[in-house]
Structure 1
């Protein structure tokens, strides 16, 4: 692990010979796009998680989706072949309920604009969910619910417009479904903001309240965040000062990873959750004719950035090529993003374009 450019950004280049499930005591797993999508298990997820658990790794499921209760999420996971208990599920609804409970008196009414998961989390903290701005709420909270309609959003806007403290479980603009991307809670928060003004306090990934909730509930000492989103899962890991594994089964593709700014760069990358069961190779500076570094090498691949274009030479595992490419692009980008580097030809060669 090394610090780069004084930014506090964590970028792992030394690799890991042992499987990640042996290096870390707890996997903090995102759900949508990592374990399942559209209500179906993602390929290899069930078998990989079973093997990681059998290897001694504790599994916890951490989601920004506040609509379902932990009991419902655990039941879904179990039905998909991933045995889970409610205590192993941590939601942004739980994180925001704790945040609210620290700022309003016990027993306060809270206007809950969201699903059952949000209401259950509020009751767990001794708060009373209500449905109208006329119920004299001490706070307003929004959480994702696919059944939300205009009336609920209007109630939130009325209360926020009157100055009632406003909270949101998370602000993800989109959510993955079996049919593609759909509006997430962040899009619905924007509706209320446009109508009433102001900004809510947000609890979910990538912000600290969610990481705090996760550590409090799991007791993890050496956690590994596992996710598919750079702006929630990976950024949240950076904010919490822990390592992360990006899997390419969700919203982030290889081009977006190469263009990532420092706080969106994971420690590891894998095609899917089988990445928990393997070691991850070292990425090292490549030297040519003793003249100094000319790029970065991982496995059978060498990557260089020449005149603003990523060049790849060699062969072998395409993920090793991606790892080498990330090291080369991120070194050139330094504390900025790699968006200015042309990567299309390199990704096409890897079959990742």
Structure 2
């Protein structure tokens, strides 16, 4: 599922809780600056506190102790960036779609923070590989497996903005974390069954889905912050290491949503799955990657940073 712009949800944090300090250049410096933190921040901020990492976060409203900040590509001034602190790592949570956006953001920050030379971390979407199923760069070399080195859709607007960011190297240090389906906290994948499979025909067309929990998104961000030399000038594909089958999930969950966990199944989807298995000759679930026709391989990220997903299977 595409990685969309994230809603602000910081009302639970008191103003005094959003910034901690360490021995940096000045009391206002932070190790990590989170631009547009939202849902991601609900996992990243507790992890940074737990590890004693100083941080600051922004939002459009400036509520809950965040810094009021909005990125305006059309602005000719970089004055809006002056309210931001110096940082070792700048995490760009919101997506950038417009040409020139990545260059404008990084240039504006560096111009207003001449003492900083941060690692810019853009959160992206694995949809640049599998979001457009019609994109096949070479039918003769077509594979069901994609990794971070696989050809991606060169016309995808997010991919274009990310390419622009990475092309600024070595003047700008940057990396991109391409994330798949986000779950955890306020996001339960169980709530999506009725949306993605409202009919048997819709369910029939559903294949694979890849997921990552918010805790592991936060851990991935902290990992590249801690070892920027490994991260810089790279685009990473980040999943929990599994290929999920929508038929399997719909059969196991039904339409009860998050509230239906550990309760009798609701909805027609489990019955539709049984019918589809008979019709398609599927003997057991989940279907194999070959049967699903699409699979993402994220091993290189976890191996490079010597991590394993903390939430390695959707609940």
TM-score bracket relative to the smaller structure: 0.3 to 0.5
Q: TM-score by structure 1 length?
A: 0.34
Q: TM-score by structure 2 length?
A: 0.37
